[in-house]
């Protein structure tokens, strides 16, 4: 399963809660996705990863 698809599915479930908390019933899903995943993710990654990849996968390089 693609990580992006899982992220979108989760954000789709969380969107009503975000809209309610922000008192913004018309807030588009695109805004929630950008603010909640892309921007926030970059900020957290800079603090927590110290330049390392987000997932550490033990692989020999084989794609399929």
Cβ contact 27:18 at 8 Å: yes
Cβ contact 45:54 at 8 Å: yes
pTM: 0.56
Tens digit of pLDDT for each residue in 49-58? Answer: 877 777 777 8
Lookup: tokens for 19 = 């809209």
Mean pLDDT computed over every residue of the chain: 83
Q: What is the pLDDT of residue 25?
A: 93
Lookup: tokens for 21 = 């908390």
Domain residue extents for the chain:
3-48
Tens digit of pLDDT for each residue in 14-27? Answer: 999 999 999 999 99
Lookup: tokens for 47 = 């603090």
Cβ contact 8:32 at 8 Å: no
Per-residue pLDDT band for 1 (boundaries 50, 70, 90) equals low
């Amino acid at each position: 399963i693609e990580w992006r698809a899982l992220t979108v599915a989760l954000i789709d479930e969380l969107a009503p809660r975000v809209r309610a908390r922000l008192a913004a019933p018309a807030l588009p899903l695109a805004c929630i996705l950008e603010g909640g995943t892309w921007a926030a993710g970059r900020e957290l990654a800079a603090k927590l990863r110290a330049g390392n990849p987000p997932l550490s996968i033990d692989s020999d390089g084989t794609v399929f």
